[in-house]
A and B are shown apart, each in its own frame.
Chain A
Amino acid sequence: MTFDVAFAWSILPSLLKGLAVTFQVVVLGFVAALCLGLTLAVLRHAGRGPVPALTRAYVMFISHTPLLVQLFFLYFVLPQIGLRFSAMTTGILGLGLYFGAYIAEAWRGAIEDIHYGQWEAARALDLPPLATWIRIILPQTVKPMLPVLGNYLIGMFKETPLLAMITIPELFQITKQIADLTYNYNETYTLLGLLFLLISVPSSLLFQYLEKRSHGKSRVA
């Protein structure tokens, strides 16, 4: 059982470069997912005709199929219908479409949890629908949504290794290349796992802390 520390140290800069790409994809993908999720959740409530049913079908389909296959679909099929994106853009789009569905579902729940008196009050005060959404309803969903969004952010980070399968040079792809080139599987993948732990454990603890604080006193087991 050997672990070449010098080698691990020497590949760290390359891995950190990959990590930077990972962060970039996660941030942009998350912004896309937020926009899509919010739009879908609002449309589910306020849309007319077939719109709510369509948003529901979208969420259903996306959440019942693997992200990996969705990425392959976007990566291989979009160019065939004339939409040529870089691998990066495809990856961001894929993460956005996938997590957008999950965020939409959570946000819908948050909207439904708002007391109906709020809607009635807005109506009684003759607020236009847009103002009701922007100034009454949505601000009240922010607090319950924050821990959920935090979990999805970490979840998205942990799904990024899949992007290596569509050739994005993120952390996992870089690690895999080094491992296949040098046959030092132990050092490379151990370092990769450590980097993942280093980021996801503190951030998950942070979100747990924030969630507990926002709930007041935590429930005693």
Chain B
Amino acid sequence: MRRLKNNTRKGNGLNAVMSFETAWFIAQTLAKGAVVTLEITVLAALLALPLGFAVALLRVSPWRVTRLLSTVYVEFLRGTSALVQLFYLFFVFPPLFGVVLSPMETGVIGLGVNFSAYASEIIRSALINIDRGQRDAVLALDFPPMEAFRRVLLPQVMPLMLPPLGILLIELLKSTSLVYTITLMDLTFAGHNIITSVGYQTTTWTVVLLCYFMLAWPLSRMVKRYERHLTRHRTARGQA
């Protein structure tokens, strides 16, 4: 296969056909970029999820102060753009507080914190959708709080929050393209890199778009399947 492609390169002088070396270089650059993109997505999600959960719990807590603070947190993060927050973290924070973060840390913290606000909104709306009676019953049965949360409340909120959280993960994956502006070598950066070194504007941007699509598509399929799994159960009961 390798020899065959090499021969075609030698065989024609037209630059319309990509040489094997060029194709290999492009594939390699894109693969490296895709790995960085996935890495940031996973790490930011791992930061956003617990943080979002904590903020959601604070927002439904009985104390007014924590409710107020967590609301401010959410509105602030959703009100300013993710790119603005990344730049703030990258350019303003280091001289201000003397903390120097690597681009990778900046990207993960910036996106993770930004998406924790959106995640907390999803988790909060799932939490407040639990029937009041469930909480009363747990109290009446004298469940310890952690036990009640883990065995009664959590199983009920999961189906409500998993699909929107899955969609949020896709949005996060898409948002990682922002980190190219703070010099991280992700998929978008790979696109620029390829174009400055070998050209092929149209092909490169098309392939980069397809790469993102192929990363996001399976996630979206999983969400759809999970949702269908849930509604099948519901319709079956409805028909009975």
Using known A-B contacts A64-B216, A68-B177, A68-B178, determine if residue A192 contacts B91 with beta carbons closer than 8 Å.
no
Q: Are B92 and A186 in contact (CB under 8 A)?
A: yes
A161 CB-CB contact with B under 8 Å: yes
- How many B residues touch the partner, as a band? 35 or more
Contact A200 B80 (CB under 8 A): yes
Number of A-B contacts (CB under 8 A): 103
Query: How far apart are the CA atoms of A81 and B205 in the complex, in Å?
Result: 14
The total of chain A residues at the interface (CB under 8 A) is 37
11 A–B pairs (Cβ distance < 8 Å), ordered by A? A64-B170, A64-B220, A65-B174, A73-B209, A81-B202, A162-B178, A196-B80, A197-B80, A200-B79, A201-B75, A204-B78
Minimal beta-carbon separation of B114 from chain A (angstroms): 11
Q: Identify A69's interface contact among B60, B78, B177, CB under 8 A.
A: B177
**Docked complex: A128-158 residues within 8 A CB-CB of B:** 158
* Segment 159-174 of B: residues with Cβ below 8 Å from A: 170, 174
How far is A190 from B76 in the complex, measured between Cα atoms in Å? 13
A119–B174 alpha-carbon span in the complex (Å): 38
Mask for A172-197, Cβ within 8 A of B = 1, else 0?
10001001000001100110110011
Chain A, 89-108, CB within 8 A of any chain B CB? none
**In the bound complex, do residue B181 and residue A165 qualify as a contact, i.e. CB atoms below 8 Å apart?**
yes
B156 on interface, CB distance cutoff 8 Å: no
Measured in the bound complex, the distance between the Cα atoms of B206 and A69 in whole Å is: 9
Residues of B within 8 A of A (CB): 60, 75-76, 78-85, 87-88, 91-92, 95-96, 128, 170, 174-178, 180-181, 187-188, 191, 195, 201-202, 205-206, 208-209, 212-213, 216-217, 220
B67 to chain A, nearest CB (A): 11
Complex: A189 Cα to B89 Cα, angstroms: 10
